[in-house]
Amino acid sequence: MILDIIRQTISEYNLLNKGDSVLVGLSGGADSVCLTHALNELKEILGIEVYTAHVNHGIRGDEANNDELFAEKFSKSLGIKFFSARFNVPELAKQTGVSEETAGRNARYEFFENLCNEYKISKIATAHNKNDNAETILMNFMRGSTVKGLCGIPYKRGNVIRPILDVSREMIEEYCQINKLEYVTDSTNLSNNYTRNKVRNILIPLVKENFNPNFVSTVTSNAKLMIEDSYCLDQIAYRVYSKIAKHGSVSISKLKENPVSIQRRVIRYMLSEVYNGLSDIPGIYISDILNLKHTGNSINLLNGVVAKIEYDKLKIGKFDSSKTLDFKYSLNVPCCAQIPEILYSVSIEKCDKRKKDGYIYLGCDTDRIIIRNRQPGDRFYPSGMTGSKKLKQYFIDNKIPKEIRSSIPIIEINGEIAAVGERVDNRFLFKDRGVKIKFDRR
């Protein structure tokens, strides 16, 4: 029966194809023993080659060493090529600043990937089962996951596959008993010092006994429905994201045109881009980001990432908070010069005709101009407007982000502001002669 379920899962989710080779993560526990034996039984039908790999985490002393020996012996009894590696996971956890569980998982997958690259193995199979999936869903729910987290463990991610995800732990133990398969029991699985063990050993038995004896199947069946709905919404959201988000920035008004479920997914895509594909993003972050309302509002996320509001823009990324150094250069006309504080070069020429060539044209007769950044009390007469305006108010009215205001070059001629960036002062509008200035990013 289990073999039929595994074949159905492999077929439905396209986990393996004829000619594939698969590396099974063999801990020695009932789950991985069942998976290894089952794939070995099916290898002729599926047209695959099976390998096994075991990682000794250096945590349980002699018990871990015995598990490694068992995994090797079991693999050889089936005629399967076996690989093993040893890591000092507690030390790795200290060095990397993560939990031992995370350090162990990272070490395992790095070892598996290296084997795949060296021996041209196409897939990595892990022994996650239906009960593991239910536990993961509950843990994600309790810590405030997104809908994606409530979908549970995926059947495949990249080259990693889970062929027994539709098989319960009870069925696995029955399979081992029928086929007279020995297996080892990790003593840490009996300790309730870990969250997963508390869910496995306390919470789920309590629910099964008092509320629903088929709780594991109910949870995982609901997860399958969520996967289908989530996939549809993800496709819609990605199309929206592709249209309105660019370089970590999105128009808030355009974002708000969409239902909240789409907004949340667009934010998730933005976070995923910043975090280089990190999928395990707590849902609370997305809610906090969507609750940002006003210009200047911001929240700090993991690893120096910031989400902030700048007028109609929501921006997510790592931003340089360093202040632009003040600068002031008195330049002859004509000339070419560098402005290192803002990484610009500037070229200045005299002219008697205006062209569409990217230059700023100023009507004046001068042999010297000053290029500087803003100063307290600056005021000018913006072209197209009546009267003067303080530079600070001009920046606010034109929604110029605070962090770039000091890097906008100001052109001063004879003690008067002639232009702010490309905005020319009314008093210096070009007529029939003057100077032209061009700024280029270095």
Q: Which domain holds residue 376?
A: 328-441
Where helices occur in 256-374 by DSSP H, the ranges are 260-274, 283-290
The answer on 304 and 261 residing in a single domain is yes
The answer on 119 and 6 residing in a single domain is yes
Q: How far is Cα 217 from Cα 222, in angstroms, rounded to an integer?
A: 8
Q: Report if residue 78 sits inside a domain.
A: yes
Q: Report if residue 337 sits inside a domain.
A: yes
The answer on 334 and 196 residing in a single domain is no
What CATH number does the domain containing 300 carry?
1.20.59.20
The secondary structure of residue 200, as a DSSP letter, is I
Least confident of 41-45, 101-105, 230-234: 101-105
What CATH number does the domain containing 186 carry?
3.40.50.620
Cβ-based neighbour number of residue 284 at 10 Å: 12
Q: How far is Cα 383 from Cα 425, in angstroms, rounded to an integer?
A: 5
> Which pLDDT tens digit goes with each residue over 58-75?
777 788 889 999 999 999
The answer on 225 and 120 residing in a single domain is no
What pLDDT does 280 receive?
A: 53
The answer on 333 and 301 residing in a single domain is no
The answer on 423 and 289 residing in a single domain is no
Domain termination residue (choose one: 317, 341, 373): 317
The answer on 307 and 337 residing in a single domain is no
Domain termination residue (choose one: 282, 317, 352): 317
Percent of the chain beyond pLDDT 70? 95
| pLDDT of 319 over the 90 cut | no
Q: Report if residue 145 sits inside a domain.
A: no
Domain termination residue (choose one: 271, 289, 317): 317
What's the pTM value of the predicted model, to 2 decimals? 0.62
> Which pLDDT tens digit goes with each residue over 111-138?
999 999 999 999 999 999 999 999 999 9
Using alpha carbons, list the distances in angstroms from residue 167 to 33, 40, 128, 148. 13, 17, 9, 22
The answer on 195 and 49 residing in a single domain is yes
Contact 318, 306 (CB under 8 A): yes
Q: Report if residue 136 sits inside a domain.
A: no
Q: Report if residue 233 sits inside a domain.
A: yes
What pLDDT does 344 receive?
A: 83
The answer on 238 and 381 residing in a single domain is no
Domain count, the chain: 3
Confidence tier at 236 by pLDDT (50, 70, 90): very high
Q: How far is Cα 285 from Cα 430, in angstroms, rounded to an integer?
A: 51
The answer on 361 and 281 residing in a single domain is no
Q: Which residues contact 268 (CB under 8 A, 6 or more apart)?
A: 146, 148, 237, 281, 286
> Which pLDDT tens digit goes with each residue over 369-422?
999 999 999 999 999 888 999 999 999 888 887 777 888 999 999 999 999 999
Q: Report if residue 85 sits inside a domain.
A: yes
Q: Report if residue 156 sits inside a domain.
A: no
The answer on 301 and 256 residing in a single domain is yes
The secondary structure of residue 303, as a DSSP letter, is G
The answer on 415 and 298 residing in a single domain is no
Percent of the chain beyond pLDDT 90? 60
